[in-house]
Chain A
Amino acid sequence: MSAMRRIVGRSIAYVVLLLIGLVGIAPFLYLLVLSFKRRIDIISEVPPTLHFDWAAIQANYNEIINYQGILTSLVNSVIVVGISTFLALVIGTPAAYAFSRLQFRGRDTWASTILSFRFMPAVAVAVPIYLLMKAIGLTDTYPGLILPYVAFSIPLVVWILIGFFDEIPTDLDDAARVDGCSRFQVLTRIMLPIMRPGLVVAAMFGAIFIWNEFLVALFVINSPEHSTITLTAATLVSAQRPIDWNIAAATGVVTVIPILLFSFVVQKYIVRGITSGAVR
Chain B
Amino acid sequence: MNGTLIERGSSRSSWAFGPSGRHRDTLLLLGPCVAYLIVFSVFPLLYSLRLSLTNLTGSSTSGQFVGLENYRDIFTDPHFWGAAGTTALMVGSSVAIALVLGTALALFFGLNLRGSSIVRAVITVPMLITPIVVGVMWRALLNPDWGIVNWAIGRVGLPAINWLGSTDTALKTLVMVDVWQWTPFVFVIVFARLQSLPVEIFEAAQVDGAHRLAQLRWITLPLLAPAIALAAIIRGIDAFRSFDLVYGLSYGGPARVTTTLSFLDYQSGFDFQRYGFAAAMAYVMVVILVIATTVLLRLVQVRREDAVQ
Contacts and interface: CB of A to CB of B under 8 A. Distances in A.
- Scoring A14, A48, A264, A267 by chain B CB atoms within 10 A of each residue's CB, the highest score goes to A267
A1 B78 CA distance: 64
Contact of A183 (B25, B240, B262): B25
Contacts of A271: 124, 188, 191-192
Interface in B200-245: 227, 230-231, 234, 237-238, 240-241, 243-244
A234 B132 contact: yes
Given A98-B30, A233-B130, A237-B136, A279 B230 contact: yes
Secondary structure dominating the interface of B:
helix
A125 B13 contact: no
A134 to B, nearest CB: 11
Given A25-B125, A124-B282, A94 B29 contact: yes
Given A17-B116, A121-B286, A174-B13, A102 B40 contact: no
Centre residue among B127, B129, B270 by max chain A CB count within 10 A:
B129
Interface residues of B, number: 97
B80 interface: no
Given A208-B128, A279-B192, A280-B307, A252 B136 contact: yes
Contacts of A219: 269-270
A103 interface: yes
B289 to A, nearest CB: 7
A270 B309 contact: no
A122 B241 contact: yes
A215 B263 CA distance: 11
Contacts of A243: 139
B47 A103 contact: no
Given A121-B262, A123-B285, A255-B133, A128 B270 contact: no
Interface in A95-121: 95, 97-99, 101-104, 110, 114, 117, 119-121
Interface string B274-309: 010011001101100100010000000000100111
Interface stretch (B31-39, B69-77, B163-171): B31-39
B283 A94 contact: no
A22 to B, nearest CB: 9
Interface stretch (A27-35, A50-58, A59-67, A195-203): A27-35
A126 interface: yes
A95 B30 contact: yes
A187 interface: yes
A25 B131 CA distance: 15
Interface residue tally on A, bucketed by range? 35 or more
Contact of B26 (A98, A119, A151, A214): A98
Given A125-B41, A151-B37, A233 B132 contact: yes
A102 B33 contact: no
A73 to B, nearest CB: 13
Of A18, A104, A280, most buried by chain B (CB within 10 Å of CB) is A104
B188 A274 contact: yes
Interface string B120-144: 0111111111111100111111000
Contact of B124 (A121, A249, A270): A270
24 contacts: A23-B123, A24-B125, A30-B141, A31-B137, A42-B146, A44-B146, A91-B36, A98-B30, A104-B23, A124-B48, A124-B265, A127-B48, A128-B44, A132-B43, A151-B41, A170-B12, A183-B29, A211-B130, A212-B131, A255-B130, A259-B129, A260-B125, A274-B185, A280-B304
Given A94-B29, A127-B282, A279-B189, 17 more contacts: A13-B108, A17-B119, A30-B141, A94-B30, A94-B33, A95-B34, A98-B30, A103-B10, A110-B30, A124-B45, A177-B14, A183-B25, A234-B244, A260-B129, A271-B192, A274-B189, A278-B230
In the complex, the 5 A-B pairs of residues with the closest C-beta atoms, listed nearest first = A151-B40, A95-B33, A121-B241, A124-B282, A98-B29
